[in-house]
Structure 1
Amino acid sequence: MASEESLEESKKKVYRKEQALKRTAESLEDDEEIELPRKRYYRQRAHSNPFSDHELIYPAKPEDMKWSMLYGGSNEAPTVADVGCGFGGLLVSLSPALPKERILGIEIRVQVTQYVLDRIHALRKQNQGKEVDYTNIACLRGNAMKFLPNFFGKGQLKKVFFCFPDPHFKLRKHKARIISPTLLSEYAYCLRPGGIVYTITDVKDLHDWMRSHLEAHPLFERLSSEEEESDECVKIMTTATEEGKKVARNGGSKYIACFRRTENPK
């Protein structure tokens, strides 16, 4: 058993090294075909403790962030955030749907973040010169529960997605849920009036938790059912994420709630 695990780990290391060599070689051979990464070589635990010290790197303030390192070109900041982006399914699908927006995925797990980075890199190489070239999406490793205002200034964001977040079923773990009164105030700070918070989950209890907290917050109002049904981003997040696809395969339910950031009170 131990030898099998060692062999599998060796295969993963070899694969990641090959991917790194391919990225290095691109500067020498621009026409080289870059393969999409394979998830089997980036496996990690499904969830990560948001209160742990993950030795994360983050700017002291949003103005210090060098966005050009992620997107290339100008230092224009992102206006759409996918918090807990997982393997990047939503990012990739939003890219052609929101071509004029810069979209950022935030993921706390090391290997999953690396997978998304490699996936975006490969897509950009495969689609150079095409109408959809995926240069408007990027990913970084971060903890939105602690450092979101370090990346995003007041009213910077138009949309924030919370897709299939960790349910933290145990009562003592509820404080680790990504939606809470305190965190909602931070999200409201980063969202501009009229901006939208999108939530989706397959856990009814978590859906009720997120919905009730958003309804109770003075700076958010629920979209009407007609608005949710006609929103293209709702349609995309329902089907694009890896977790959403798994729920569909298993015949599970998906619960959606979207809220608009209201104007600041006078």
Structure 2
Amino acid sequence: MTGETSENDVRPDLSAVQGLPQKRHYRQRAHANPHSDHDINYPVCPARMDWTGLYGNYANGRKVEFVDVGCGYGGLLISLSPLYPESLMLGMEIRMKVSDFVIDKIAALRRHSKENDKVDYFNVACLRSNAMKFLPNYFEKHQLSKMFFLFPDPHFKNRKHKWRIITPALLAEYAYCLRPGGLVYTITDVEDLHDWMVLHLNEHPLFERLTDEEEKNDKILPYVVNRFVLDCSTEEGQKAAREGRNKYPAIFRRLPDPDP
């Protein structure tokens, strides 16, 4: 599937929002080494994480359900927010300036919402962290219902394949955090990386790929396919569009735990 939904169908209209951050003030390298020490604070266990610091009182009685790993400029989260108002959504982004941009953008959206006597966008937040190292520090077993891995760094060189966000070791952690029936969304414009992610997810005993019909009927997939558009046409997205690159999405379901 290459995404039949038009760009205008998925791009949120934020024209009335004042004080939105501008990307030119948040310059950042396109990629970061996930194995480097990035001086990141993280909880020792999920019970020690204070989610009210990210969601305020909206976190009371709720737990994070959606996680966008490497959320970029937050376009997917912001677009899904009104579709799932009762679900807490978290973007995890390792790049400091990019995460700052998303945090400031969400803050501006919340201010605009409160000025109009609404509570929109209080269910989304961004956290600077390294999901490859610290994911189980934030989430309990079977807590999440959806995980997104959208246009991850392909790490082309063989010696850097261990840096890819989908590996057998990391899939064990994702399976731990995902509830049975939960979904993993992947997409890339690099066919080799798509084949890599599909291969390892297929080989894992706790994941199965959705059928073509199930993928076609998934209402989130159009937003996934157009993540570059939702990020307000990033430079990489514009380049991909100019070059006419294909997009390769896949959705996998988390299977029930085997009987002990």
TM-score by length of 1: 0.85
Q: 1:42 aligns with which of 26, 32, 39?
A: 26
Q: Which ranges of structure 2 fall in alignment gaps of 5 or more residues?
A: 1-16
Alpha-carbon distance in 2 for matches of 1:155, 1:132: 28
Q: Aligned residues: percent identity?
A: 58
Alpha-carbon distance in 1 for matches of 2:117, 2:200: 42
Q: How many residues align?
A: 234
- In terms of Rg, which structure is larger? 1
Q: Which ranges of structure 1 fall in alignment gaps of 5 or more residues?
A: 1-32
Cα root mean square deviation, aligned: 1.5
Alpha-carbon distance in 2 for matches of 1:238, 1:113: 21
Aligned to 1:101: 87
Alpha-carbon distance in 1 for matches of 2:248, 2:117: 35
Alpha-carbon distance in 1 for matches of 2:63, 2:38: 24
Aligned to 1:54: 38
Secondary structure of the 1:252 match is coil
TM-score by length of 2: 0.86
TM-superposed CA distance for 1:248, in Å, is: 3.5
- Answering whether residue 143 of structure 2 is matched by residue 156 of structure 1, we say yes
Write 1 or 2 for the structure with the bigger share of helix.
1
Aligned to 2:49: 65
Tell whether the 8 Å contact from 1:80 to 1:102 is kept in structure 2 after alignment: yes
Task: Using CA pairs under 8 Å that are at least 6 residues apart, name the structure with larger relative contact order, 1 or 2.
Answer: 2
Secondary structure of the 2:82 match is helix
Alpha-carbon distance in 2 for matches of 1:95, 1:198: 17
TM-superposed CA distance for 1:238, in Å, is: 1.0
Aligned to 1:80: 66
Secondary structure of the 1:139 match is strand
> In structure 2, what residue type is equivalent to 1:69?
G
Tell whether the 8 Å contact from 2:150 to 2:227 is kept in structure 1 after alignment: no
TM-superposed CA distance for 1:35, in Å, is: 0.8
TM-superposed CA distance for 1:245, in Å, is: 4.4
TM-superposed CA distance for 1:251, in Å, is: 2.0
